[in-house]
Amino acid sequence: MAGRRSYRSVKTVERPSRKIVKGAVGSATRLTAVPRKKGGGAGPSTPRSVPNKASRRTGRVQKASVAGTNRVDLSAFPSEAVRKLDRSICLACVLDVFTRHMGLSLNTAHLEIKRYKPSLAELNSPAITRPYFTMQSPQDPCPYCGSPPKWHARLAIYRIEGGRTTDTLRRELVKALPTSGNQFLILEERGTRQEAFFEWLEKISKGLDLEAPQWLREVCRHYLSRKEPKEDWQAQFEQIQSIRRSRRLERGWEVGKGRLFLAPPLFDELLLVHYLVSRSQKAGGLTLEGRYTLRELMARLRSGGYLRAVGVIAQNPSDAFEELLQYLSGGEASMKLHYIVDRSDLLGKVGQLKAFKPPRPSVRGHLIS
Ligand SMILES: [Zn+2]
């Protein structure tokens, strides 16, 4: 029920509220911080060969900052199943809260920051709040306390959709990550296919210029890459000048003379995806067949036989649309989302900052009192 409501609330491609969807499936989000030393979760139980002797400050800082330059390489993964996010955090703000408001000693505050493991709620929150901030330029001061960039750390977050095409790759990747100092935090969350679908839509929609028709082609490439990740769609699209509904194919697609022919069911799915991406821009959504309102789109998909073919029986356009979204996204079927959080920049910065006194609260009074 809540899931249905969330579909309706999705005006652009905002993902349905996690809380609502969680409620709908009746289970709390699983938030598992896998302590690497215990070898839980995806990690093997055998001891690691990585030496863990970097106990002195200098050694640790150096190792961490070296690790910080080695980004996690996701290039082997299907591009539509992974996402990278960055979060900037102001350590001066954190130290201020720990020392001034919570009364911790500076040493303890540093230790607490080192132990800090961001929760999924913090990492996924659309609203950025102190001590997190959106970095406009690496030179900018903290928007809350005015501290200079040396007090700012970045958390790199890699999110991988669980499934057949990613599970083996992900296990190998996690196994190969350095374990010293808990640089990498591994989290997982059970979600629904529907959530993952809307998050994917949100990701591909970012930065699209809906005034330039080129976006239709871009979304098409993303959708096909998601649906058939083994194909090199980037290379295919370098040859493709136009996208057509095939009169011959019953399923799948083919490329000929610079034209991509899609079987009717695939073409019709794309109409829906284009509609979802663009429907909030103007009345109706833009598709490869022009602009459709919801009613028009459903009528078109019904008359073309698509709705019947995928088992959508509702007559009312809104209900049919919801049934169709369930079908297209995978609905409430569960899936895992895996997160790799790279804390190495944070650890490196904490090490370096021990030598500095935390900045005094800004005279402009930006610090919370
Ligand atoms: Zn700050």
What are 71-91's pLDDT values in tens digits?
799 999 999 999 998 899 999
Q: 352 burial class (0-12, 13-18, 19+ CB within 10 angstroms)? A: middle
**How far away, in angstroms, is 131 Cα from ligand 1 center?**
6
Task: Tell me which residues have their CB within 5 A of the ion that is ligand 1.
Answer: 90, 92-93, 142, 144-145, 147
Helix (H) or strand (E) holding 308, with range, is helix 306-309
Is-contact 268 304, C-beta < 8 A? Answer: yes
In degrees and rounded to multiples of 5, residue 133 shows phi and psi of: -150, 165
**How far away, in angstroms, is 55 Cα from ligand 1 center?**
28
Q: What is the mean pLDDT of the chain?
A: 80
**How far away, in angstroms, is 148 Cα from ligand 1 center?**
8
What are 164-179's pLDDT values in tens digits?
899 999 999 999 998 8
**How far away, in angstroms, is 149 Cα from ligand 1 center?**
9
**pTM (global) more than 0.75:** no
State residue 146's pLDDT score. 93
**How far away, in angstroms, is 83 Cα from ligand 1 center?**
27
| pLDDT band, residue 361 (cuts 50/70/90) | low
What are 272-331's pLDDT values in tens digits?
999 999 988 777 899 999 999 999 999 999 998 999 999 999 999 999 999 999 999 999
CA dihedral in degrees (140, 145, 151, 154; nearest 10)?
-70
**How far away, in angstroms, is 132 Cα from ligand 1 center?**
8
Query: Is 46 or 348 the better-scoring residue by pLDDT?
Result: 348
**How far away, in angstroms, is 359 Cα from ligand 1 center?**
9
State residue 70's pLDDT score. 52
**How far away, in angstroms, is 344 Cα from ligand 1 center?**
19
**How far away, in angstroms, is 93 Cα from ligand 1 center?**
4
